[in-house]
Amino acid sequence: MSAHRNVLAFVMAGGEGSRLHPLTAERCKPAVPFNGKHRIVDFVLSNLVNSEIYSTYLLVQYKSQSLIEHVRQTWTMARFMPQHFITCVPPQMRNGPEWFQGTADAVYQNIHLIESMKPDIVAVFGADHIYRMDIRQMIDFHIQSGAAASVATLPVRLSQSGQFGIVEIDDNNRITDFMEKPKKCKPMPGSHTHALGSMGNYIFNADVLLEQLRKMHENGTSDFGKHILPSMVKSHKLVAYDFDTNHIPGTEPYEEHAYWRDVGTIDAYFEAHFDTLGAAPKFRMTNSRWPIYASPDQAESAQIENGVINRSVVGSGSIVDGASLDHAMLRRSVHVDRGARLEHCIVMERSRIGRGAQVQRAIIDQDNDVPPGERIGFDLDQDRRRFHVTESGIVVVPAGYFRAGARHVSQARSIVRAGKGRLEVVA
C-alpha cells in the first residue's frame, strides 16, 4: 500500500500571483486568505497530511514571509518524529545567484534533499487550488500502472485549454502527448467540448525524477510542463490519473463531485468563496473525516448584537451590530457597525465597516476602516479611480487602504490612472 512507501513531497509555493493583485501586493498567492480562517496553501497541505504523507518541503520565493510565518504557526510537526515535517525552503542558489527559473528548476535547486531522504516516490504538487484529494489513491494507481510518472487530470473546456497543460491518452490511460497551454488541442475521448487538463500535480519514481532533473540542468531547461513531461512522453511510461475517480470519505451527496478550482484570478477566487456557503454547498469546508486544517485561533467567539444575516460566515472575534449581511464572508475580528450593509462581500482580518456603509460585490483586504456612509460597488467608474475593479465588476480594496494615509492613497490613485491595474499599497 502507498501509505507504507517512502514518499517525499514538494509543494510549489513560489507563485507571484500577479493575476490576484492587489491581494498579492504584500503576500504570495499560496498565503492569500480563503474563507473564514484558512489560506490557500492549507488545502494542499491538508490533503498531504490526510493522505499520510508527512515529509513535505514548500518551495517558496516571492513575498514569502507571511507564508513562512503561517507554516511556522500552523503546521508544526513533532520534534521526536524526524521524518514528519513541513518546511519552507527558499531558493538555495547553490548553482549561482539565481532564483527558481521554473517548477523543475525549483526542485533541481533542492536535489540534495531528494538524495539525502532517498524516497521511493516524489510527489510534486501545486499550492494554489481549492480541493480535496486522497493522494494515496493516485500513488496506488501510479504503482499499479508501472509508470515512471503520473499526472493528475480532469476535463477542461476546449476554450480554456490555453490555461492548462493538456494531455492526450490511449485506451489504457497512457499519455501519448503533453502540451503546455496550447492555443488549440483535440478533445478528450468521448467528448466534443472538453480536453484532458493537467492539475499540476505529479507523482514520480524518485530515481526517474533525479535522472530527468540532471538531464534538464544539462540542457538548460527548467519546467515540468514545458520541458520534462513532454520529453518523458517519448522515453518513459507516463499515465494520466483521473481525478474524478478519487473518493473522499465524508463527502455529502449534495457536494460537487471532484470539486477543484484554480483560484488564480480575482473572479475565480471570489466565486469559490460562495461555493462554500449555504446548507448544501458545492464544497463543504467542514468534513471531520477529511479536514482542511487552519491556523490556531485565539480570538473570542463572534458576537451578533442584532441585524439581518443571510447565508454568511462570521469569523471569530467579529462583531455585527445592527447590520445587514447577505452572502458575506467575514474573517477574524471584523466589526460591522449599525446600519451597514454587505452583499456578496469578503472582508478580511481586523477591518471595520462604518455605520451606514454599503458594500456589494467587493473584497475588502485586511486592516481597513471603511468610513461611515461609504459606498463601494455601486458606481464602478468611481471605484476604478480608487481601486482595482475586475471586468466582471468585483471591487478589490487593498490592505490598509483606508488607514494608509494620504500618501499611500495618492500612490494608489496614480497607479490606477496610469493603467497599470496594480495597487502596491503597503498594509
Which residues are known binding-site members for alpha-D-glucose 1-phosphate?
165, 180-181, 198
Please calculate the CA angle 199-217-180 and round it to the nearest 5 degrees: 30
Using DSSP's 3-state secondary structure scheme, residue 382 falls into helix
Euclidean distance between CA atoms 105 and 345, whole angstroms: 39
Locate all alpha helices (DSSP H) within 240-388, ordered by sequence.
266-274, 380-386
Q: Give the count of beta carbons closer than 10 Å to the beta carbon of residue 51.
A: 21
Annotated binding-site positions? 165, 180-181, 198
Q: How far apart are CA 380 and CA 403, in angstroms?
A: 22
**AA identity, residue 110:** N
Element (H, E) at 179: strand 175-180
d(CA 336, CA 354): 7
Residue 329, beta-bridge partner list: 313, 346
The angle formed by the CA atoms of residues 83, 87 and 91, to the nearest 5 degrees, is 130
Contact between residue 173 and residue 238 where contact means Cβ atoms under 8 Å apart: no
CA Rg value for the chain: 22
CA distances from 415 to 113, 267, 365, 412 (A): 42, 21, 18, 5
φ and ψ at 368, to 5 degrees? Answer: -120, 140
CB burial string 315-341: b at 16+ within 10 A, e below:
bbbbbbbebbbebbbbbbbbbbbebbb
Q: Could you tell me where the DSSP H helices lie in 182-265?
A: 206-219, 229-235
Cα–Cα distances in angstroms (integers) from residue 332 to residues 263, 296, 348, 361, 372, in the given order: 21, 12, 7, 19, 20
Cell numbers standing for residue 356: 451606514
